[in-house]
């Protein structure tokens, strides 16, 4: 049943967010600490064990993959609800601080990733098939 997959996803999401809140409270932060990341790891673990026991039927998988596929449309909706006006009209401090940090981070990412490339770790993955777009 499709709903089992979606319910599994929902369970992992809620438990992850709860643990993120607890973690935040434990270290005294007024925010959720890695709740979504924890949820992702819970889902990976749950799927790994269920697949091994043959509990993950194709129908059940569909209840998860549908939401993974809905990801890009949701991001488009998110983009359409950003406060772009504030971003455009904000003064030079916001613009420069944002631009500077993005540029600096891009350079550091490039440095690190070029180092990874030299080790050849990336080669195997690139041979994989390109992802289907927006479907």
Partner 1 sequence: MLDKFVHEIADNQLVAAFAVVGIIVWVSNLLARHLTGGRVHGSAIAVLAGLALAYWGGLVTGKTKGMADLTLFGGMALMGGAMMRDFCIVATASEVQIDEARKAGWLGFIALFLGTLLPFIVGVAVAMAFGYTDPVALTTIGAGAITYIVGPVTGAAIGASSDVIALSIATGVVKAILVMVFTPVLAGFMRLDNPQAAMVFGGLAGTVSGVSAGLAATDRRLVPYGALVATFHTGLGCLMGPSVLFLAIKAIAG
116 binds partner 1 (CB under 8 A): yes
- Distance between CA atoms of 77 and 75, rounded to whole angstroms? 5
Please, what is the minimum distance in Å from the beta carbon of residue 50 to partner 1? 11
Of 53, 54, 58, 93, the one binding partner 1 by CB under 8 A:
93
Q: For residue 83, count other CB atoms closer than 10 A to its CB.
A: 9
Of 25, 39, 55, 58, the one binding partner 1 by CB under 8 A:
39
HEC string of 84-128 equals: HHHHHHCCHHHHHHHHHHHHHHHHHHHHHHHHHHHHCCCHHHHCC
31 binds partner 1 (CB under 8 A): yes
Q: For residue 37, count other CB atoms closer than 10 A to its CB.
A: 11
Please, what is the minimum distance in Å from the beta carbon of residue 19 to partner 1? 12
Residue 54 or 71: which CB sits closer to partner 1?
Answer: 71
26 binds partner 1 (CB under 8 A): no
């Amino acid at each position: 049943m499709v709903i089992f997959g979606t319910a599994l996803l929902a369970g992992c999401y809620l438990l992850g967010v709860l643990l993120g809140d607890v973690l935040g409270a434990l270290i005294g932060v007024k925010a959720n600490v890695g709740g979504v990341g924890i949820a992702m790891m819970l889902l990976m673990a749950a799927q790994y064990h269920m697949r091994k026991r043959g509990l993950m039927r194709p129908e059940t998988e569909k209840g998860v993959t549908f939401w993974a596929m809905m990801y890009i449309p949701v991001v488009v909706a998110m983009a359409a609800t950003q406060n772009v006006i504030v971003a455009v009209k904000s003064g030079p401090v916001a613009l420069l601080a944002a631009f500077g940090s993005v540029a600096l981070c891009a350079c550091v990412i490039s440095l690190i990733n070029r180092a990874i490339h030299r080790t050849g770790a990336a080669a195997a993955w690139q041979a994989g098939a390109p992802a289907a777009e927006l479907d």
